[in-house]
């Protein structure tokens, strides 16, 4: 079961205007067909209900950035990575668009927005040679490029097999942008792990994925990359809408919570959603100013 969350870095304080509204992607995972209604859940910040929260259909096509880290392991297993990404792309639906970013010494756009599978797959390349990892910088580059997307639904898929020791971008900055822009991250970790191994970027990306409403997986080999990508669901089933006045309920408590309404049958059903109020991290949302 998976549901979505998002996070965002703001350079200036956010004020919710009276005409503003906010929304978050919301997904339902169940062992049976489920149609989620507004009356099925209670949305709160702390112990205070969020007024006016409404569940609407997510629908619509999606724009997806695929970020691939150019590590030595990726270079040695490019063929398997391309095969797994091809299978992922072949499940795209009408209107979906994709682009690729290769994380080398600097982010490199592999292919711009397209639905052409062969173009996207062939753009995943890792030239030989040593390089320093700039994975978080590449994700920032991809977020900037997503600003040109034609679809309102957007997501990042990140595939990596090494630590990030050189990025200028800090995790908190990236987290902030993901929140505000409602972009879930799906991260697949292919780093070789040992009992005494420490790969800080894997912990950071797991957190980014969780807070943004996406998901993350640790994969033991490139042969299993396809299995992980098959679990990536980049289309939100629903959107959780908030009127501007709802910001008052989250003025002090920034963490959102969804509870099932008493009496609603929800056995075998779970929700995935952004945990942070969709105004930004640690920001005071004031309506009508």
Task: State the pLDDT at residue 287.
Answer: 25
Query: Measured at the alpha carbon of residue 2, what is the angle toward residues 233 and 215, in degrees to the nearest 5?
Result: 70
* Angle at alpha carbon of residue 8, lines to 272 and 30, rounded to 5°: 5
pLDDT tens, per residue, the chain with 289 residues:
333 333 232 222 333 333 356 778 787 777 777 888 999 999 988 788 888 889 888 768 999 999 999 888 888 999 999 999 999 999 998 999 999 999 988 899 999 999 999 999 999 988 877 666 789 999 999 999 999 999 988 999 999 988 887 788 888 888 888 888 888 899 999 886 544 455 577 888 888 888 888 888 999 899 999 999 998 888 777 888 888 778 777 777 778 888 899 988 888 888 877 777 775 433 332 222 2
The pLDDT, as a whole number, for residue 171 is: 87
Q: Which CATH class is domain 62-229?
A: alpha beta
Domain ranges of the chain: 3-59+236-273, 62-229
**pLDDT of 80:** 95
Tokens of 91: 């499940």
CA distances in angstroms from 234 to 41, 133, 156, 169, 202, listed in the order given: 23, 26, 8, 24, 21
Interatomic CA distance for residues 122 and 114, integer angstroms: 13
- What pLDDT was estimated at residue 193? 59
**Which alpha helices (H) appear in 20-170, and where do they start and end?**
72-76, 78-89, 117-122, 135-146
| pLDDT value for 95 | 93
**What dihedral do alpha carbons 173, 175, 178, 180 form, nearest 10°?**
-80
The pLDDT value given to residue 277: 75
> Residue 289's Cα: distance from chain center in Å?
31
Residue 145 has a pLDDT of 97
């Amino acid at each position: 079961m998976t549901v979505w969350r998002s996070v965002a870095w703001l350079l200036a304080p956010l004020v919710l205007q009276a005409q503003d509204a906010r929304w978050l992607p919301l997904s339902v995972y169940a062992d049976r067909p489920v149609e989620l209604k507004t009356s099925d859940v209670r949305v709160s910040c702390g112990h205070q209900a969020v007024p006016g929260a409404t569940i609407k259909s997510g629908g619509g096509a999606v724009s997806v950035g695929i970020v691939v880290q150019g590590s030595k392991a990726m270079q040695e297993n490019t063929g398997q990575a391309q095969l797994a990404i091809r299978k992922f792309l072949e499940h795209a639906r009408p209107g979906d668009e994709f682009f690729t970013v290769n994380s080398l010494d600097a982010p490199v756009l592999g292919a711009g927005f397209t639905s052409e599978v062969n173009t996207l797959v062939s753009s995943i390349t890792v030239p030989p040679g040593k390089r320093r990892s700039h994975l978080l910088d590449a994700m920032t580059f991809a977020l900037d490029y997503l600003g040109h997307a034609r679809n309102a639904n957007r997501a990042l898929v990140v595939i990596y097999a090494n630590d990030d020791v050189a990025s200028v971008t800090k995790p908190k900055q990236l987290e902030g942008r993901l929140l505000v822009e409602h972009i879930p991250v799906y991260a697949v970790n292919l780093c070789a792990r040992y009992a005494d191994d420490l790969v800080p970027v894997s912990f950071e990306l797991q957190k980014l994925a969780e807070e943004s409403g996406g998901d993350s997986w640790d994969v033991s080999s490139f042969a299993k990359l396809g299995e992980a990508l098959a679990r990536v669901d980049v289309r939100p089933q629903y959107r959780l809408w908030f009127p501007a006045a709802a910001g008052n309920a989250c003025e002090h408590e920034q963490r959102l919570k969804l509870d099932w309404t008493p009496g609603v049958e929800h056995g075998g059903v779970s929700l995935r959603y952004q945990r942070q109020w969709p105004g930004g991290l640690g920001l005071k949302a004031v309506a009508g100013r």
